[in-house]
Each structure stands twice: as C-alpha cells, then as structure tokens.
Amino acid sequence: MKKIRLLATIAVFLAAMVQKSTAQFYFYDNDHFDTPLTFELGPSVGVMNCLTDVGGRQGLGRAFVKDLNIGNTQLNGGIYLNALYKYAIGLRLEGTFGSVKAYDSILKPVKETAQGRYERSLQFKSKISEISMLAEFHILYIFKSFLYEDDLNIDDEPPRFSPYLAAGIGYFSFNPQAMLNGSWIYLQPLSTEGQGFAEYPQRKPYNLNQWNFMLGAGIKYEVSPHLNLRIELITRALQTDYLDDLSTRYINPNLFSQYFTGTQLSQALALNDRRSKNDPNYPINPNGGQRRGDPNDNDAYFTFNFKMGFTLGRESRKHGGGSTKQVKCPTRF
C-alpha cells in the first residue's frame, strides 16, 4: 500500500511539473511561442561502418580509425523522438537499422605486410537493429546560461546553429554470417572458436542481443520554427569481441566432430579455418592454437547520419498560443 501511495505521489508531482512547464510560453521569435520543453520527431538516414578483427589495413592491425576500411561502409536508417528542455539539454529515444561487413581479401594489395590476415581469408556480414536512449548537451545554450541573467532581451532569438555532444546507451542485435558455397551461413551456432566446448571453458557462447555505450557529436540547424536539420556522428563501444565471430585462437578441428554432425559439422570445419583457400601450402598447426584474432580489443561500429526533425508544440502567435505567462527569455537555461 505504501508503494502505491509513493507511486501516486510521484505521478502527481510529475504531472504538475509537466503542466507548469507547458503553461509557460517563451518567445521563440517574433511570430512563434515556445514552451520550455519542446519535442522533435523525425527520420534519420546515413552510413554505418565497423571496426573488427576482420579486414583492416596493412600491418598487424591497429586501433580505431587506423584500421578502418571506408569501402565497407553500408547504409542505415531510423527514426527518433527527442525531448529538449530550454534548447540546452535533450533526451532522445531512437531506433537505428543497418548492416556491417568486412573481409580479409581487401588486404590483397598489402598482403606482404598484413601479418597473415590476408591468408586467413575470413569474412562476415551482419544486420544491426538498435534501440537507444541518448542525452544531448547543446553547448551554446548551456554556455549562455552562465553569462545571462533573467532579463534577456526579447530580440535574443536562438542561434540557427547549435553544436551538441551526445552520450547514452543502446540495446542492439546482430547475427554474423559468412559465405560458403554461394550461401550465407550463420556463424554463432557453429562455435568456430570452441565457444561452449568443455575443452575451452573460458570461451562462452556470445549473445546476439547486447548493450552498447554510445558517444558522439552533431550540429543542429534550425531551418524554420517547425523544421531542423542535423548531421551527427555516433560511435558505439561494444561489450563483445564477436561482432565478426572472431576473437582469439584456432582450436583443434577434430573437436568439432564431438559436438556436431552432418551439415553443421561440415560448415564448422569449413568456416573455422580458411587459411588454405588462398594458399594450400600455408603452414597450419593441426592441433590449433595459432592466432586467429585479437582478444585485447572489443569490436565497435559507428554511424554518420543526416536527420530531419519536425518540432512539435511550437505555436504561431497569430493563433494565440494558449499562454498564461509570457517570458522574455528564449535562450535562458
């Protein structure tokens, strides 16, 4: 009963805060009223790429953009809903859908310096579905809050450009595949690195749905009181090194027959080790143990998107606005 009373009290408090916020109107410009809390809804479209153990550039493999292959860039799209308080701090719910891919054959021009990654002959692709919650910090408005008092001039309209930082958390799904005999095969059920095998107790099967941590920046441009455009770069730090089904060392291939049979066995054997594809004489340890990937760095993916936002709740002064209080402060935080 006490919990119900507490929840009811919180609900009444939040309702009162929302009502107070929406009852106070600000001058957005000479023709439109604004509330302290505005909402924005719109589509997002752009490109997606990843940083994994597959592919890369010359050498052993290097961190972040030094190992990025621009040619693997894929399209992505989504939709978002944003709540922005006094133009300064926002909270955004967003859905993003795209795909990532990489392949070792891209290293052919630099195979002599690729430290065996070209001969490894691995590849992957995966669809990405993500839902996220991000906080936005609009730098100009937060900065101005420390410079101005309550008596801002009514002529101080919000600037057209608003750079911002964004940080948050996402929940995404992936499912890596590789090409075999003209068909795309899902890799996670094949335990290509012995995930779930008793002989490798430290290698657990990886989940296809996981959390990520997001960080990025963007610029927002107000086209009109009802429309804005954004460009935005967001990178994701993952909690897995298996976005590409690749992380550590080869296992003894004889172990697959103890766990799989039929088609699954033949697929696991073919996709676990493909070093003989480009070089039949490549030196392979039949007992496994040779390096397959780098377990020291988790995988990552990022997006660069254009967004079109439609502002909800901003009203024309010609139609009233329902204001009970007008404040000459469009930019104060």
Q: 4: how many CB neighbours lie within 10 A of its CB?
A: 8
Across 195-206, average pLDDT = 96
> Greatest CA span in the chain, whole angstroms?
82
Query: What pLDDT is stored for residue 31 in this prediction?
Result: 65
**pLDDT surpasses 60 at 10:** no
Query: What pLDDT is stored for residue 70 in this prediction?
Result: 86
**pLDDT surpasses 90 at 52:** yes
Query: What pLDDT is stored for residue 151 in this prediction?
Result: 41
Across 271-282, average pLDDT = 84
Across 268-286, average pLDDT = 86
The per-residue b/e assignment along 230-250, b for 16 or more CB within 10 angstroms, e otherwise, is: bebebbbebebbbbbbbbbbb
Q: 223: how many CB neighbours lie within 10 A of its CB?
A: 11
Across 195-213, average pLDDT = 97
Nearest to 207 by CA among 162, 248, 243, 154: 243
The tens digit of pLDDT for each residue in 222-267 reads 998 889 999 999 999 999 999 999 999 999 999 999 999 999 999 9
Residue 269 host element (H or E): helix 262-272
pLDDT band at 319 (very low <50, low <70, confident <90, very high): low
Asked if residues 38 and 61 have their Cβ atoms less than 8 Å apart, the reply is: no
Residue 275 in tokens: 């070093």
Is 147 strand, coil or helix? coil
Domains identified in the chain and CATH numbers:
37-145+161-327 (2.40.160.20)
User: Side chain identity at 78, as an amino acid letter?
Assistant: G
Nearest to 292 by CA among 51, 101, 113, 115: 115
**pLDDT surpasses 70 at 23:** no
Return the percentage of the chain with pLDDT > 90, whole number. Answer: 58
Asked if residues 253 and 310 have their Cβ atoms less than 8 Å apart, the reply is: no
Q: What is the 3-state secondary structure (H, E, C) of 270-303?
A: HHHCCCCCCCCCCCCCCCCCCECCCCCCCCEEEE
Q: 175: how many CB neighbours lie within 10 A of its CB?
A: 16
Query: What pLDDT is stored for residue 312 in this prediction?
Result: 87
Question: Between 117 and 64, whose confidence is greater?
Answer: 117
Is 34 strand, coil or helix? strand
Asked if residues 188 and 206 have their Cβ atoms less than 8 Å apart, the reply is: yes
The mean of the pLDDT values for the chain is 83
Query: What pLDDT is stored for residue 272 in this prediction?
Result: 94
**pLDDT surpasses 50 at 173:** yes
Query: What pLDDT is stored for residue 116 in this prediction?
Result: 82
**pLDDT surpasses 50 at 5:** yes
Beta-bridged to residue 291, according to DSSP, are: 249
- For 98, list phi and psi in degrees, rounded to 5: -165, -155
The tens digit of pLDDT for each residue in 71-91 reads 899 999 999 999 998 889 999
Asked if residues 250 and 286 have their Cβ atoms less than 8 Å apart, the reply is: no
pLDDT band at 29 (very low <50, low <70, confident <90, very high): low
Residue 119 host element (H or E): helix 117-120
The per-residue b/e assignment along 16-54, b for 16 or more CB within 10 angstroms, e otherwise, is: eeeeeeeebbbbbbeebbbbbebbbebebebebbbbbbb
Return the percentage of the chain with pLDDT > 70, whole number. Answer: 77
What is the DSSP secondary structure assignment for residue 28, as one 8-state letter?
S
Query: What pLDDT is stored for residue 134 in this prediction?
Result: 98
**pLDDT surpasses 50 at 135:** yes
Report the alpha-carbon distance of residue 171 to residue 153 in Å, rounded. 44
Q: Which of 88-92, 97-101, 114-118 is predicted with the least confidence, judged by mean pLDDT?
A: 114-118
**pLDDT surpasses 90 at 191:** yes
